[in-house]
Amino acid sequence: MNPSILVINCGSSSLKFALTDPRDGSTPLSGLAEKLGLADASITFRHDGEKNGHPLQDGTHSGAMKAIIDKLDELGLADAVAAVGHRIVHGGERFKESILIDEDVILGIGECSRLAPLHNPGHLLGIRSAMESFPALPQVAVFDTAFHQTLPERAYRYALPASLYHDHAVRRYGFHGTSYRFVSTAAVDMLGKPLEETAMVCAHLGNGASAAAVLGGRSVDTSMGLTPLEGLVMGSRSGDIDPGLFNYLASALDLDTQGVTDLLNRQSGLLGLSGLSNDCRELEIAAANGHEAARLALDIFCYRLAKYIAALVVPMGRIDALVFTGGIGENSAAIRAQVIGLLGFLGFELDSPANERTIRGKAGRITTQRSVPALVINTNEEDMIARDTARLAGLAA
Ligand code: ADP
């Protein structure tokens, strides 16, 4: 049996996992435990194209981990697990690459909790329960922020009093780094040009959305900041706003800072603009049926994205390729067409038939031969985590 990596993405009340073969990215078993800590906690497994699940008797993170081990045993896969890889949202400035987990690393991830209070504490629960369940296996942390640690200071500093950076770690960090690492590497295979010589803008468009300038395989700027709220229009996040809005909304709506933060994170973006949904596919259907607010929401999404892509060319001085990924980037031919239409001045020209057929798991070039290439690439963060974990655990990948 090939040595496989158990990839874990653990939140405060959920635990997503995938058993991944780092050599070919195949996933014989994956699943999701939900509502952890609540009375109706449950777990779902996907194996051989089938989905099944059951309520968890012990609805804690450790209980979920035990259920995963039982399932691995039942399927005869337990002996294949050679290491565990954990997705960690925030690594601050300390973690510039993936790392083998020890007590010091756990402390460091805990220290970054102030920057990601909704994520890092959940990740630590996942690490602790995986260490209990697999005490003999190496565990590796892979950070969403790490890829952007190559940003130069002029890109990551805010124009705020310097003490906020030095004393409170206030700076731009950026996210989706594991996805950017995966797609930028995959893009060079399609472009036939070495990564070191390539200037690309990658757009990860899912419920959260961001874009990054990747020069020679290194991130040089990105649209998300201290938190994932900055930048593009997202499913329910506003992206960039006038910071003056905080004070204005606080007094107009009698909200405290948490109230405004919730409004910007959960009630804005495509959802807020359309008044209908945060889901791009639903909005496309509604817009086609004449829903004006859905049309406007998608229009603003594309306009903001095109502006960001153009701005991200500045740090590189040129663009050799544009990469679309994430649920929207991989599936919405309409969004891609509109964005590329706005970027004609940079040398982009859409190949409409290629764009229309590059959906649902297909990858490839969606611009004409004389255009700067725009590519659709299916991201696979689990695969990247599995590869890092195999490498750091000393397993032949
Ligand atoms: P997450 O960030 O939660 O991982 P995904 O990367 O799965 O999200 O992206 C979810 C988004 O992808 C949703 O807005 C969804 O509507 C959009 N999407 C998925 N399929 C399509 C499609 N065929 N057309 C348009 N949008 C799509």
pLDDT digits (tens, 9 = 90+) for 76-110: 999 999 999 999 999 999 999 999 999 999 999 99
Q: Whats the size of the chain, residue-wise?
A: 397
Task: Determine what percent of the chain is predicted with pLDDT higher than 90.
Answer: 96
Instruction: For ligand 1, say whether the CB of 373 is within 6 Å of any of its atoms.
Output: no
207 and 331 part of one domain: yes
Question: Hey, how many other C-beta atoms are within 10 angstroms of the C-beta on 393?
Answer: 20
116-130, 213-227, 346-360: the lowest-pLDDT one: 116-130
Whether the Cβ atoms of residue 140 and residue 101 lie closer than 8 Å to each other: yes
The whole-angstrom separation of Cα 319 and Cα 347 is 9
Given 118, 143, 168, which residue is the final one in a domain? 143
List C-alpha distances in Å: 238 to 103, 265, 307, 334: 37, 7, 15, 21
| Other Cβ atoms within 10 Å of 244 Cβ, number | 8
Q: Is 351 a catalytic residue?
A: no
Q: What is the dihedral of CA 161, 163, 166, 170, to 10 degrees?
A: -50
Atom of ligand 1 nearest to the CA of 283: 16
For residue 371, give its domain range. Answer: 192-381
Q: What is the CATH number of the domain that holds 136?
A: 3.30.420.40
222 and 282 belong to one structural domain: yes
Res. 397: pLDDT tops 60: no
* Residue type (1 letter), 212: A
Domain match, 114 and 239 both: no
Q: Which parts are annotated binding residues? A: 9, 16, 87, 204-208, 279-281, 327-331, 381
pLDDT (tens digit per residue) in 36-81: 999 999 999 999 889 999 999 999 999 999 999 999 999 999 999 9
Are both 233 and 374 inside the same structural domain? Answer: yes
Average pLDDT over residues 170-197: 96
Cα 164–Cα 166–Cα 168 angle in degrees, nearest 5: 50
Q: How many independent structural domains does the chain possess? A: 2
- Residue 49 near residue 41, CB atoms below 8 Å: no
- C-beta of 350 in contact with ligand 1 (< 6 A): no
Q: How far apart are alpha carbons 316 and 320 in whole angstroms?
A: 10
1 versus 245: which is more confidently predicted? 245
Ligand 1 test: best mutation among 207, 301, 360, 362, most atoms within 8 Å of CB? Answer: 207
Residue numbers belonging to the annotated binding site for Mg(2+):
9, 381
Helix (H) / strand (E) element for 221: namely strand 218-222
pLDDT of residue 190: 94
Quote the longest CA-to-CA distance of the chain: 63
Based on the domain organization, do 206 and 330 belong to the same domain? yes
* Angle at CA of residue 112, ends 110 and 113, nearest 5°: 65
Q: Does the pLDDT of residue 176 top 60, yes or no? A: yes
For residue 315, give the nearest of 144, 170, 150 by alpha carbon: 150
Q: Can you say how many angstroms the Cα of residue 166 is from the centroid of all Cα atoms in its chain? A: 27
Phi-psi region of 35 (alpha: psi -120 to 50; beta: other; left: phi over 0): left
Answer yes or no: do 128 and 243 share one domain: no
Mutate which of 210, 280, 382 for ligand 1? The one with the most ligand atoms within 8 Å of its CB, which is 280
Q: Is 225 in the pocket of ligand 1 (CB under 6 A)?
A: no
Q: Is 231 left (phi over 0), alpha (psi -120 to 50) or beta?
A: left
The whole-model pTM stands at 0.96
Do 235 and 124 lie in one domain? The reply is no
The finding on whether 327 has its CB within 6 A of some atom of ligand 1 is yes
Per the domain annotation, does 186 fall within a domain?
A: no
Out of 21, 48, 144, 240, the active site residue is 144
User: Is 165 contained in some domain?
Assistant: no
Residue 172, pLDDT > 60, answer yes
Could you tell me if 119 and 11 are in contact, meaning their C-beta atoms sit under 8 angstroms apart? yes
Which of 206, 210, 211, 214 is closest to 188 using CA atoms? 214
Average pLDDT on 250-261 reads: 94
Residue 119 lies in a domain: yes
How far is the C-alpha of 139 from the C-alpha of 83, rounded, in Å?
A: 6
